[in-house]
């Protein structure tokens, strides 16, 4: 069973007109549009992430790495930190 509550809200005339128009365009009631807008506003927002940029060294030359290079670097690091 869906339980709903009737309430009164105050909207600016232009906001009311645009909301009523959008409801008609979507074939929904004004209450459905307002309820969905409130639901959307109360949803937790995902934190925007910054784009990933690979940092490379050595000027404009392309850096080429093989899996063996990574393995060798990890082995050297392990030996230094023993």
Q: Dump pLDDT digits (tens) for 34-74.
A: 999 999 999 988 887 888 777 766 666 666 778 888 888 89
Give pLDDT, residue 27: 97
**pTM passes above 0.75:** no
pLDDT for 69: 85
Among 55, 12, 5, which Cα is nearest to 31's? 5
Give the burial string for 16-54 (b: 16+ CB within 10 Å, else e).
eeeeeeebeeeeeeeeebeeeeeeeeeeeeeeeeeeeee
Calculate what percentage of the chain has a pLDDT beyond 90: 46
pLDDT at position 70, please? 85
* pLDDT for residue 4: 81
């Amino acid at each position: 069973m869906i339980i709903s509550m009737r309430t009164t809200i105050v909207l600016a005339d232009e906001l009311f007109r645009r909301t009523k128009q959008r409801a008609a365009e979507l074939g929904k009631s004004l209450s459905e549009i307002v309820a969905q807008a409130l639901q959307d506003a109360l949803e937790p927002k995902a934190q925007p992430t910054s784009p990933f940029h690979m940092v490379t060294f050595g000027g404009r030359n392309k850096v080429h790495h093989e899996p063996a290079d990574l393995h060798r670097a990890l082995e050297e690091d392990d030996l230094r930190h023993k």
